């Protein structure tokens, strides 16, 4: 090989070796996990996708069947930190909008966890992590609540001059 062809050949060979090391020899940074969460309306009935029309914010998109959100997803793993996506949900009951109670909402938005000492299972709040089977489960049943009605401040305000003055 001589000339320009030899230069291109060496460039190709060097590029191939670098790309091969980057793509095929680095450890995998993601794992496929299953996520399970149970949602119930304010009457304790499982949230139904037709009756309650739940609006789930979760990537990848997930639907709720008989009150259960079940999805498979890729989870980024950096050293011992597992970065799971947060879950947000609202649904309808008759004419009322239903929401996740604030005490559960914080946990659902931050399911990420640091694996402790190579344990096969671990808990963080209501989240249960099964590192061997790669299943993330929210153990508490989440009972959605109705939207808090706007306060009627104007009905409790009165004018000071409407009160009779003491004599």
pLDDT at 102: 84
Where do the H-state alpha helices sit in 51-130?
102-109
pLDDT tens-digit map of 90-126: 888 877 888 888 888 888 888 999 998 888 999 999 9
Which pTM does this prediction carry?
A: 0.64
**Eight-state DSSP code of residue 160:** G
């Amino acid at each position: 090989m001589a000339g320009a062809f030899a230069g291109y050949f060496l460039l190709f060979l060097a590029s191939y070796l670098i790309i091969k090391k980057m793509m095929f020899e680095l450890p995998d940074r993601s794992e496929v996990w299953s996520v399970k969460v149970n949602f119930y309306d304010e009457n304790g009935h499982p949230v139904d996708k037709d009756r309650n029309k739940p609006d789930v914010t979760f990537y990848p998109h997930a639907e709720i069947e008989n009150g259960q959100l079940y999805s498979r997803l890729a989870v980024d793993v950096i050293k011992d930190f597992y970065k799971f996506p947060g879950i947000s949900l609202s649904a309808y009951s008759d004419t009322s909008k239903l929401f996740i109670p604030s005490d559960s909402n914080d946990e659902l938005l931050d399911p990420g966890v640091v694996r402790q000492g190579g344990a096969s299972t671990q808990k963080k709040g209501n989240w249960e992590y099964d590192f061997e089977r790669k299943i993330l489960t929210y153990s508490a049943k989440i009972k959605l609540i109705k939207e808090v009605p706007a306060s009627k401040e104007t009905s409790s305000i009165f004018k000071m001059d409407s009160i009779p003055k003491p004599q």
